Amino acid sequence: MKPSKTVKFKSKDSIQPVSGPEFKPAAPVAIQSLGPRRIANSVLFVASFPNAKSVNIAGDFNGWKPEKNPMSKANDGTWQVSIPLARGVYKYRFVVDGKWHQDPHNKKTEPNEYGDLNSVLKVD
């Protein structure tokens, strides 16, 4: 078996950054832990909706307006968004392809006036 060759680069062989109209930044990195969790002064919401085309989050922290917090899809089909939240108790729901859902990864819920369940998050 032949030993592999070692390739040496000259200073003029530097690696150039990729840019231009054909360059697309990578999707968000997949997060293993599903559900909400505190990261510094924000809460990272992560949910698995692998077949969804769009996922937003709405709650009392954004006036129940899902368009204010669209979530980004990671390579593994999870959706995530980081929202700065102060200490307190918050109610929220996901809007998946236009339909409202409670967070399937948060067991803390309470009924709402529409006969559904809101997910509840306490930020310490």
* pLDDT tens for each residue of 78-87: 999 999 999 9
pLDDT at 15 over 50: no
Mean pLDDT of 28-54: 87
* pLDDT given for residue 28 in this prediction: 57
Residue 12 placed within a domain: no
* pLDDT given for residue 9 in this prediction: 36
Q: What is the CATH number of the domain that holds 46?
A: 2.60.40.10
φ, ψ (nearest 5 deg) of residue 47 = -140, 150
φ, ψ (nearest 5 deg) of residue 44 = -95, 120
First to last CA, the chain: 62
How many CB atoms within 10 Å of residue 23? 8
* pLDDT given for residue 91 in this prediction: 98
Task: Return the closest-CA partner of residue 70 out of 61, 79, 78.
Answer: 79
pLDDT at 10 over 80: no
Residue 45 placed within a domain: yes
Mean pLDDT of 98-111: 97
Average pLDDT, the chain: 83
How many CB atoms within 10 Å of residue 60? 12
* pLDDT given for residue 27 in this prediction: 52
**Separation CA 72–CA 50 (nearest Å):** 12
Q: How many domains does the chain have?
A: 1
pLDDT at 11 over 60: no
Segment among 12-16, 45-49, 103-107 with least mean pLDDT: 12-16
Q: Which one-letter amino acid corresponds to residue 107?
A: K
- Both tokens of residue 6? 């070692």
Residue 96 sits in which domain range? 31-123
Q: Which one-letter amino acid corresponds to residue 19?
A: S
